[in-house]
A and B are shown apart, each in its own frame.
Chain A
């Protein structure tokens, strides 16, 4: 089974992580984090095992003395600053070449890697389980968890159940095509308690704007498998473009009504290894 993260992308990812400190939001966020961490140092939230790359200053030496194992202390503020990655794994994410799911995986990898490097905690939600990652050295684990995602989940509710049952703290990044406005509206409703920390991310494909070319075309619905044959010409292309614009407006409206921001990220070609191409528009800063 091929991986969504080939070697060129991994090099690109390493370059992005290395440049994470130059991100525009770095100063504000770090300062805010330090203030919050210092202020809340006494608000102990729990331990977790030490992992390579963790700050030695956060090692609980008393626990080490008792158990002869290294633990780092977790504070409540830190939990809230973690990142929860929720990637839509419904069949509609298979659309596109490369698929929208692969784009979503790569975007999640970019965001998650930067979060691991800067914040330290990333959770990848999968239907029925959550993979928690902490520390900048867990990028490979992050990629592994994202690589396990398959666009074969027919029940999006299962993912929401996992997200809500785990009572995950931190910013929730929902990456999806939001093609089904009804499902989108339902998801936003269920995540309403978390809407202040929720952000929608839509990896955009070229076909989200206009059909590719004229001629006879068999359209297969990714969800239902329904097949429609039609002849594509300029008139139909215009009509489809209008319908896609209506969909985009509908998505914006649904998110606006829920008070959740929605970011559209145009996916670069799969073979692109340009950081500028992947981070064009500064979307990562907004995340």
Chain B
């Protein structure tokens, strides 16, 4: 028998006090009498009992007090030494969700569903929780990309486990974590893993391996890169798919992006890596999540078959057209083209206000807006509050001689055929800080880029109708680039990164054998068993003794 609070046995010191209190008063006088019978009869007549030390009553009281003192010390029987805390390190990586197969058929798990390493681990945890001694605190660490700690009742812990593992690879070093936690002798560490995904098996604490056998090959997305030309709708998906060499994978893309029209995925098998490398052109249809899933028959591990990609929404689809007079027909066509590039937008009157994906200004004199995106063709811009002077002398047939070969807008385009019949005077073009000439002529710049705070603008010194620019192959490129540049994006965006659902190759490769045979490789370190509590029976015994004492 052990005592949780042995110092409370000091309560037994009350026994001498009880004995002293149980003693009858010591009379100051003692009288020898020959009439004791008469005294006793008189006492009986008036209903009194002689005062005397009642041995039985005292012993009943003493035993009751002793039982209560012992109960307060919280005695226990059957106690066992051991750890007072159990930390369960559960490999919560996606590979634990792989469905086992036995003789070609899915094996039933402990529950109604198919058998997985996770289901077996969950059942094993439930067994241990049910069998653990009372008073042993349990912490559950679900380890995948990071360790998540759960504590609570058994039901809460099992509920926290959920029905399957997280769709993540194992990035927590189980061996190091188990070693660190096992340093405290009051703590027992128990690791459950499927020994897959390149895990280093812990050498400290208990270890249970729950891996299974898989008959068929597993296909899985092991690498994925999305190249985004936002604000343009074009996307390109580069993927690596783990799978058998003989059959090329097939992808199903849905959601915020869809395969571009007539797009066909191209696949190449890399025998050294054992993966298929593929590329697919997509088109953004909306902002949100784009799911990329391996199409085809189900394989043991579904977690690596699907990756969800966040796709940013297309820019504001409204293309504003602001003309001083009759709008240039070429500018209208350009506005229509930009609206289409912006993801199915529309061309609206620029005077209507609101946010525009891009505002096209044709001729006239305008005040610089505080921000936004703007492309002016033959328009003059003045600052707010500045006096508007008359236009300078237009330049006649300025000869385009060069363009900025490094700027994102004009890099790699051919403007050698550009012919401009008339252009604004050089002094009518913006100048100063934030102004970058892009196309040069013999009489000054023909196109400048302006960056002023939140404002990004392109100012062409000529109207589209006064040039052959709409007819040049470079024009569509300029339109696309102008849209990207005005949104502050220069070049393609790689949206690869740590994507939701993308697993490590080791996690998906079920063809490799597990690092250990399944089973309890090392038992859980002994847990402290406080034993059965005797406090309540002792209290009941004390009450019984006191009850008997009432009648004694």
> Which A positions have Cβ atoms within 8 angstroms of B?
92-96, 100, 177, 179, 207-208, 212, 215-224, 226-231, 235-236, 239-240, 242-244, 246-247
Given contacts A228-B50, A239-B45, A243-B45, contact A218 B39 (CB under 8 A): no
Are B33's CB and A207's CB within 8 A? Answer: yes
B501 to chain A, nearest CB (A): 91
- B10 within 8 Å of A by Cβ? no
A92 to B34, CA, bound (A): 5
- How long is the Cα–Cα vector from A94 to B32 in the complex, in angstroms? 8
- Judge whether A95 and B42 touch: CB under 8 Å: no
Contact yes or no, B28 A228, CB < 8 A: no
A247 and B27 in contact, given A236-B42, A236-B46, A236-B48 (Cβ under 8 angstroms) = no
Cβ of B512 < 8 Å from any Cβ of A? no
User: Which residues of chain B come closer than 8 Å to A223, judged between CB atoms?
Assistant: 34
Judging by beta carbons under 8 Å apart, are B34 and A228 in contact? no
The reply to whether B50 and A230 form a contact with Cβ atoms under 8 Å apart is yes
Inter-subunit contact A219/B38 (CB<8 Å)? no
Chain B window 224-235, contacts with chain A (Cβ cutoff 8 Å), 1 for yes, 0 for no = 000000000000
In the complex the two chains form, is A220's CB within 8 Å of B31's CB? yes
Report B151-196 residues with CB < 8 Å from chain A CB: none
Collect the chain A residues with CB atoms within 8 Å of residue B24's CB.
229
Residues of B within 8 A of A (CB): 24-36, 38-43, 45-46, 48, 50-52
* Residues in chain B near residue A94, CB distance under 8 A: 32
Least CB distance, B27 to chain A, in whole angstroms: 4
> In the complex, A219→B27 CA distance in Å?
10
Contacts of A221 in B (CB 8 A): 33-34, 36
SS of A interface (majority): mixed
Tell me the smallest distance from the CB of A215 to a CB of chain B, in Å: 7
Taking a contact as CB atoms under 8 Å apart, the answer to whether A243 and B39 are in contact is yes
10 shortest interchain CB distances as A-B pairs: A239-B42, A243-B38, A92-B34, A216-B27, A221-B36, A179-B34, A218-B27, A240-B42, A218-B30, A228-B50
In the bound complex, residues from chain A placing their C-beta under 8 Å from that of B48 are 230, 236
B166 smallest CB distance to A (angstroms): 81
Please state if A247 and B29 are interface contacts (CB–CB under 8 Å): no
Say whether A179 contacts B46, CB under 8 Å.
Answer: no
Point out the residues of chain A lying under 8 angstroms from B45, CB to CB.
239, 242-243
Q: How far is the CA of A284 from the CA of B24 in the complex (A)?
A: 46
**CB<8 Å pairs between A and B, sample of 18:** A207-B31, A207-B33, A208-B35, A215-B28, A216-B26, A220-B30, A222-B32, A222-B33, A224-B36, A227-B52, A229-B24, A229-B27, A230-B39, A230-B50, A239-B45, A240-B35, A243-B38, A244-B35
Q: How far is the CA of A151 from the CA of B28 in the complex (A)?
A: 26
What is the bound-complex CA distance between A207 and B31, given in angstroms? 10
Nearest-neighbor residue (CB-CB) of A243 within chain B? B38
A92-B34, A218-B30, A240-B35 given; name 15 further pairs at CB < 8 Å. Answer: A93-B34, A95-B33, A179-B34, A216-B28, A219-B31, A221-B36, A228-B52, A229-B52, A230-B39, A239-B43, A239-B46, A240-B39, A243-B39, A246-B38, A247-B35
Residues of B within 8 A of A230 (CB): 39, 43, 48, 50-51
Q: Which residues of B contact A220 (CB under 8 A)?
A: 30-33, 36
B35 touches A217 (CB 8 A): no
> Is B31's CB under 8 angstroms from A217's CB?
yes
The complex places the Cα of A242 from the Cα of B36 at a distance, in Å, of 14
CB-CB < 8 A to A247: which residues of B? 35, 38
Contacts of A239 in B (CB 8 A): 42-43, 45-46
With the chains together, A230 CA to B49 CA distance in Å?
8
Nearest chain B CB to A184 CB, angstrom units: 12
Task: State A168–B179 Cα separation when bound (angstroms).
Answer: 113
**B51–A219 CB distance below 8 A:** no
CB-CB under 8 A for A236 and B43, given A228-B36, A243-B38, A244-B35: yes
Contact (Cβ within 8 A) A217 B51: no
Q: Which of B24, B27, B42 has the most C-beta atoms of chain A within 10 angstroms of its own C-beta?
A: B42
